């Protein structure tokens, strides 16, 4: 099994020593760099670059620069999607955003994780688990969403939260770690 196949299946893999994954990251990061330096009023070019980067886009979406991701092809965005400045998506696993998702500035979505065992971690091994964000979700600024998290529909995540566990639909959740504080 290749390192990419291990990565996509959620097994431990070594991204640092694999030429295929290295080249895919470089290609994606060059496209992110191109997107981030494209003038804001050149909407067609910006959307074309994002269509090259992302695995699936909708008709109506907007991503502000600066935007960074690892591979891009594992990211899917729904209709009426907005992501504010300085967001990072580490996407060795799938990251799926539903419709009507609004993301504040300086947010991170991290599917990559590292073993707790230092000997395994020091070998350069890591794992990736998906993130799924439902429909009608508002995520405040400076939020971090960790691997293997599902955020339900009709959810508000408060600014500065660190989402380490699933958040059920129809709720407001805040904090570090992020917890439901109100049903809506």
Q: Which residue has the tokens 């939020």?
A: 143
Res 65 pLDDT > 90: yes
Buried residues in 18-43 as b, exposed as e (16+ CB within 10 A) = beebeebbeebbebbeebeebeeeee
pLDDT at 22: 97
Cα dist. 153→83, 131, 174, 181 in Å? 17, 14, 16, 16
pLDDT at 86: 98
Q: Can you tell me the mean pLDDT for 135-152?
A: 98
User: Which is the catalytic residue, given 114, 132, 162, 180?
Assistant: 114
Res 58 pLDDT > 90: no
What count of other Cβ atoms lies within 10 Å of the Cβ of residue 66?
Answer: 14
pLDDT single digits (tens) 30-43: 999 999 999 999 99
CATH 1.10.10.60 fits 3-183, yes or no: no
Q: Can you tell me the mean pLDDT for 48-75?
A: 96
- The mean predicted confidence, pLDDT, of the chain is 97
- Active site annotation includes 85: no
pLDDT at 4: 96
Cα dist. 148→24, 62, 94, 165 in Å? 23, 25, 10, 8
């Amino acid at each position: 099994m290749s390192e990419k196949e291990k990565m996509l299946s959620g097994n431990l893999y070594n991204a640092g020593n694999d030429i295929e994954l290295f080249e895919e990251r470089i290609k994606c990061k060059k496209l992110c760099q191109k997107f981030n330096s494209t003038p804001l009023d050149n909407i067609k070019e910006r959307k074309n670059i994002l269509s090259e980067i992302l695995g699936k886009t909708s008709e109506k979406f907007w991503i502000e620069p600066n935007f960074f991701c690892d591979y891009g092809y594992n990211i899917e965005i729904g209709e009426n999607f907005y992501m504010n400045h300085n967001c990072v998506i580490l996407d060795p696993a799938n990251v799926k955003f539903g419709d009507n998702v609004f993301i504040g500035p300086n947010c991170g979505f991290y599917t990559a994780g590292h073993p707790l065992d230092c000997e395994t971690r020091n070998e350069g091994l890591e794992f990736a688990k998906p993130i799924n964000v439902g429909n009608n979700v508002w995520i405040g600024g400076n939020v971090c969403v960790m691997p293997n998290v599902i955020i339900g529909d009709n959810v508000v995540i408060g600014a500065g939260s660190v989402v380490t566990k699933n958040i059920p639909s129809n709720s407001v959740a805040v904090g570090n770690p992020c917890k439901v504080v109100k049903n809506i």
